[in-house]
Amino acid sequence: MSSKLVDAKNLKKSFGEFVAVDNIDLSVQRGEVVGFLGPNGAGKSTTMKMLTGFLEPDSGDILINDIDLKSEPLKAKEFIGYLPEGAPSYSDMDVSEFLSFIGKMRGLNKKLLTTRLDEMAIQISLKEVWNKPIETLSKGFKRRVGIAQALIHDPDILILDEPTDGLDPNQKHEMRNLIKTISKNKAIVISTHILEEVEAVCSRAMIIADGKLLANETPANLEKQFANKDIISIKVFNKINAVLAKNLKSSINYGEVKIEKLDKDTNIIFVSDDKKTPELNAVLKQVNKFKLNIIEASFVKSNLEEIFRKITTTNASS
């Protein structure tokens, strides 16, 4: 028995000429929350559809709790709770009716179903809309109903395609807390294009673009790996002519020095280096030598957002 609840190897899927997913490996252990990151159309949803058995991969294998999804789909699907993109549901049904339909289809007996429905009403805060038709609900509630149907049978594996899409900031916060709470004994895969979400809830980030896996790291490791993209910016109240610019550049001993004119009398000096993290103190010392009036100096740590942009755009263009 391996500790991997989801173990997918060499997944490939094309639609005609278009290669949606190109040789992706993915494994998730119990207790892990994997954030699936990528621009729109990168292949996130297609990968999730393959993991849940909705789409068959052109090649590659998927093991769900050590069960081969291809040869024993019904058995494997029992372990998965899935929120498809857009959280579809039967809009003419009441919330309770819909959840009990899914629960019954998931094989819950009457007693267990009643217990789980009560738990869902509280855990996902659905009490106030419990007997309302889904079509009358707000987007936030619809999304919660979608989460509830994915959780109704208390699955080991949760696959959530953009669980916070369309939610307001408070609802997003709640959703993330919920994911964190339930993540202890489950393997969770969420897809998103919101980076703060990954930083907030995920133990690992997988970045994909054009169907290819570009990075597979903890958010902290990703940041460390790309820390040399940190930038120092110094705003000065001086005119900087070409000669001064040249002298500045040669005396600041780092890879890249850029000077940008903000207005007539104000300039910003940007310092960065591909190989080492620039030190603010050292840079300020150099700038001071030129007797410049420093108004503001800051150290901009590269965040996940920049890393993401960097990874996905460089690879997409290369």
Partner 1 sequence: MKTYLEKTYIIFDRELKGYFRTPLASIFLLVFLALSSGMTFFLGRFFERDQADLTAFFAWHPWLFLILMPAIGMRLWAEERRSGTIELLITLPVTNMQLVIGKFLASWIFTLIALILTMPIWVTVNYLGDPDNNVILISYIGSWLMAGAFLALTSCLSALTKNQVIAFIISSISGFVLIMAGFNLVLSSVRSWTPTWVTETVGSMSFLSHFSRIQMGVFDLRTFIFFVSMIILCIWINVQLVQIKKAD
Contact footprint for partner 1 (CB under 8 A): 49, 52-55, 73-75, 77-78, 80, 82, 84-86, 88-93, 101-102, 104-107, 149
| In the complex, least distance from residue 87 CB atom to partner 1, rounded to whole angstroms | 9
| In the complex, least distance from residue 107 CB atom to partner 1, rounded to whole angstroms | 7
| In the complex, least distance from residue 64 CB atom to partner 1, rounded to whole angstroms | 11
Would you call 179 exposed, middle or buried from its count of C-beta atoms within 10 A (0-12, 13-18, 19+)?
buried
What's the token pair of residue 250? 């040669």
Nearer to partner 1, 92 or 265 (CB): 92
Dihedral angle of Cα 53, 54, 58, 63, to the nearest 10 degrees: -10
| In the complex, least distance from residue 53 CB atom to partner 1, rounded to whole angstroms | 6
| In the complex, least distance from residue 49 CB atom to partner 1, rounded to whole angstroms | 7
Q: Tell me the CB-side half-sphere exposure of residue 103, using CA atoms within 13 A.
A: 24
Distance between CA 238 and CA 248 in Å, rounded? 13
Nearer to partner 1, 22 or 85 (CB): 85
Nearer to partner 1, 76 or 252 (CB): 76
Nearer to partner 1, 32 or 161 (CB): 161
Rg (Cα) of the chain, in Å, rounded? 25
- Residue partners of 226: CB distance under 8 A and separation at least 6: 302, 306, 307, 310
Distance between CA 51 and CA 54 in Å, rounded? 8
| In the complex, least distance from residue 191 CB atom to partner 1, rounded to whole angstroms | 14
HEC readout, 4-18: EEEEEEEEEEEECCE
Q: What angle do CA 4, 7, 13 make, to 5 degrees?
A: 165
Nearer to partner 1, 82 or 254 (CB): 82
Q: Could you tell me what percentage of the chain is helix, strand and coil, using 3-state DSSP and rounding each to the nearest 5?
A: 40, 30, 30
Nearer to partner 1, 46 or 302 (CB): 46
Nearer to partner 1, 36 or 82 (CB): 82
| In the complex, least distance from residue 92 CB atom to partner 1, rounded to whole angstroms | 5
